[in-house]
């Protein structure tokens, strides 16, 4: 008799975007001619940078000849990509990260989801609320939580409310936590922490023997100087923080798949006998056992974004999305709707007008404006009464969506 991992049964049935898709398809069925504009799912729409395309074509050709063919590569990633990442995102910025502290992967979702495996099962977990659901769900699956309570919180998880009242900088946990997930720039709120705010979290982690799991998937969108691009800009972070990065939103790799995780060898955690162990070694062991490397062709495509032309192309795409963000932000403001984010991130987090609940606003927007967004409550109970719009659409549709929203009466 095989038994299931019953922790999976604790998770609510329908995943947020599946429910969004269900409601949209239901609406379409009843209104077949509706011209629906989607500003919901956080997926890019612009093609890959030409530099990446060229590099991948070349890599495909290498695969066609015995002399240049590549089979399994190093699980941790090819040195050419590790060195490019290291130089561009760390050493050139004065951050001392070694090559064997960077692990190339098939994207950040796997890394953010899998990292919990190297921590003890009884570790306490803190997440900001609302947040990217992967951190919580993977810990539920691993049995680090109790069941889902009526208020939408899982038992045993420390939720750190992040809202307009605290300017999206949650208060530090009152209790001790072992693992602390931070996402900056934040999905879904599009807000960020300043250097001094992030320093408080690093100080907390150092004082409490906590490991910070810092998701910087949107670092490339930061425009303001006081927002850290990497947690290692904060003094002391190298002893307590793991950083996740992705090529997905940086360079349009959502379908191509490449990311990386940085684990300085100075980040350690305890065994039951009190001995301390570097997490780098544990992750390396996991990575080599369960992962067989990202495709050579994809790694060549990722490397190409660090060339001069690659950088120019990436910046152009990001500017395009951030202009959409500006249009949404300013359009909402003109319409009298309070909104946050959209300056250092491609997400705009609006307060639903008229005190509507997130899903009620979703239905109203779909029904009367034919615009699709994402209900804030889907990212955590504190997202109730908020709504996420993304800047990843095309310009014309973004402008049309904003025009429609501004004509709505709430």
By the criterion CB under 6 A, which residues form the site for ligand PLP?
42, 107-109, 112, 132, 183, 187, 215, 217, 246, 248, 254, 259
Least separation in angstroms between CB 185 and ligand PLP? 8
| Rg of the chain, C-alpha, whole Å | 21
Q: Which is nearer to ligand PLP, 130 or 385 (CB)?
A: 130
Q: How far apart are CA 185 and CA 169, in angstroms?
A: 12
Pick the closer one to ligand PLP by CB: 95 or 216. 216
Q: Give the nearest distance from C-beta 275 to ligand PLP in angstroms.
A: 32
As measured in angstroms, the least distance from the Cβ of 248 to ligand PLP is: 3
Closest distance to ligand PLP from the beta carbon of 27 (Å): 24
Q: Which lies closer to ligand PLP via its Cβ, residue 318 or residue 337?
A: 318
Q: Label residues 83-95 b or e (16+ Cβ within 10 Å = b).
A: bbbbeebbeeeeb
User: What is the smallest separation between the CB atom of 209 and ligand PLP, expressed in angstroms?
Assistant: 25
CB of 106 to ligand PLP, least distance (A): 8
Q: Rank residues 185 and 353 by Cβ distance to ligand PLP and give the closer one.
A: 185
Question: Nearer to ligand PLP by C-beta: 46 or 408?
Answer: 46
Q: Tell the smallest beta-carbon distance from residue 256 to ligand PLP (Å).
A: 9
Nearer to ligand PLP, 248 or 268 (CB): 248
With respect to ligand PLP, which residue has the nearer C-beta, 116 or 370? 116
Q: Would you tell me the crossing angle of helices 50-63 and 296-303 to the nearest 10 degrees?
A: 150
In whole angstroms, the minimum distance from the beta carbon of 249 to ligand PLP comes to 7
β pairing state of 339-341 and 157-161: unpaired
Of 259 and 301, the one with the shorter C-beta distance to ligand PLP is 259
Q: How far is the CB of 246 from ligand PLP (least distance, A)?
A: 3
Which residue, 112 or 297, has its beta carbon nearer to ligand PLP? 112
Give CA–CA dist 146/159, Å, rounded: 14
Strands 102-105 and 157-161: unpaired
């Amino acid at each position: 008799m095989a038994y299931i991992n019953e922790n999976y049964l604790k998770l609510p049935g329908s995943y947020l975007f599946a429910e969004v898709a269900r409601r949209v398809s239901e609406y379409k069925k009843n209104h077949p001619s509706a011209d629906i504009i989607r500003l919901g799912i956080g997926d890019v729409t612009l093609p890959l940078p030409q530099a990446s395309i060229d590099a991948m074509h070349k890599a495909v050709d290498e695969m066609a000849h015995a002399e240049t063919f590549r089979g399994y590569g190093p699980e941790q990633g090819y040195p050419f990509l590790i060195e490019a990442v290291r130089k561009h995102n760390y050493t050139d910025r004065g951050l001392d990260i070694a090559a064997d502290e960077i692990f190339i992967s098939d994207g950040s979702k796997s890394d953010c989801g899998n990292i919990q495996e190297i921590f003890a099962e009884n570790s306490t977990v803190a997440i900001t609320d609302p947040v990217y659901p992967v951190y919580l769900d993977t810990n539920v699956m691993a049995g680090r939580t109790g069941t889902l309570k009526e208020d939408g919180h899982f038992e045993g998880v420390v939720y750190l409310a992040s809202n307009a009242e605290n300017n999206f900088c949650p208060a530090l946990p009152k209790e001790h936590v072992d693992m602390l997930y931070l996402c900056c720039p934040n999905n879904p709120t599009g807000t960020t922490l300043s250097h001094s705010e992030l320093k408080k979290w690093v100080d907390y982690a150092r004082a409490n023997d906590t490991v910070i799991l810092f998701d910087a998937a949107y670092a490339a969108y930061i425009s303001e100087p006081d927002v850290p691009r990497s947690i290692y800009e904060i003094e002391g972070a190298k002893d307590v923080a793991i950083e996740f990065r992705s090529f997905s939103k940086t360079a349009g790799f959502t379908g191509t798949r490449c990311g990386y995780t940085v684990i300085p060898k100075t980040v350690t955690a305890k065994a039951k006998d009190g001995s301390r162990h570097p997490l780098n070694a544990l992750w390396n062991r996991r990575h080599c056992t369960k992962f067989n490397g990202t495709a050579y062709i994809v790694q060549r495509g990722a490397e190409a974004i660090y060339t001069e032309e690659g950088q120019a192309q990436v910046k152009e795409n990001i500017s395009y999305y951030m202009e959409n963000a500006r249009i949404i932000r300013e359009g909402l403001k003109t319409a009298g709707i309070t909104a946050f984010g959209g300056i250092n991130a491609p997400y705009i987090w609006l307060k639903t007008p008229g005190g509507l609940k997130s899903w009620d606003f979703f239905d109203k927007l779909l029904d009367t404006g034919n615009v699709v967004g994402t209900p804030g409550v889907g990212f955590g109970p504190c997202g109730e009464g908020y709504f996420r719009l993304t800047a990843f659409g095309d310009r014309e549709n973004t402008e049309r969506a904003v025009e429609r929203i501004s004509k709505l009466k709430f």
